[in-house]
Amino acid sequence: MKISIFAQRLKKERESKGWTQEYLADLLKIKIGTLSGYERSYRQPDLDMVIKIAEHLDCSVDYLLGRTNQRSHFYEDREPTKAELEEILKNSNVMFDGAPLDDIDKEDLIDFVRIAMRTLKVKRQQENKQDK
């Protein structure tokens, strides 16, 4: 049986945190056999469980499912480039009021996210200075 990308990444991410199957299963409120099945590709979680797993492992659902090799959409130490933001938008079904965003809306959203990221970065730097 071929092991799915999801199963490989789930196991890799769990192990990188130093967690046992029992520990992660407890966090997810599932049986250890269920988690083992996910990691061995003979069981498939529903969407809600995939989201819950991604949240606990601090990675994106897209990464777990093999849709991207980028672990997370969040950039801790730097502002994402416009190309990275465009890639995120391109690979997601961003909608507003039930309709997909057009190119102008996507540009506005990219600008907003860049400003928000810059603001958060400045805030973090100020907090770090206060802590020292």
Structure tokens at 109: 């959203």
Structure tokens at 127: 């907090």
Q: What is the pTM of this model?
A: 0.57
Closest CA to 10 of 38, 43, 44, 45: 38
Query: Quick one: 21 and 54 in the same domain?
Result: yes
Residue-number span of the structural domain to which 95 is assigned: 82-131
Residue 59 counted as domain residue: yes
The predicted structure's pLDDT at residue 73: 56
pLDDT in tens, 42-96: 999 999 999 999 989 988 898 999 988 777 655 555 666 667 777 777 666 677 7
The predicted structure's pLDDT at residue 62: 87
* Number of domains the chain is built from: 2
Which CATH number do you get for residue 23? 1.10.260.40
pLDDT in tens, 1-34: 678 999 999 999 999 999 999 999 999 999 999 9
The predicted structure's pLDDT at residue 1: 60
Length of the chain: 132
Residue 70 counted as domain residue: no
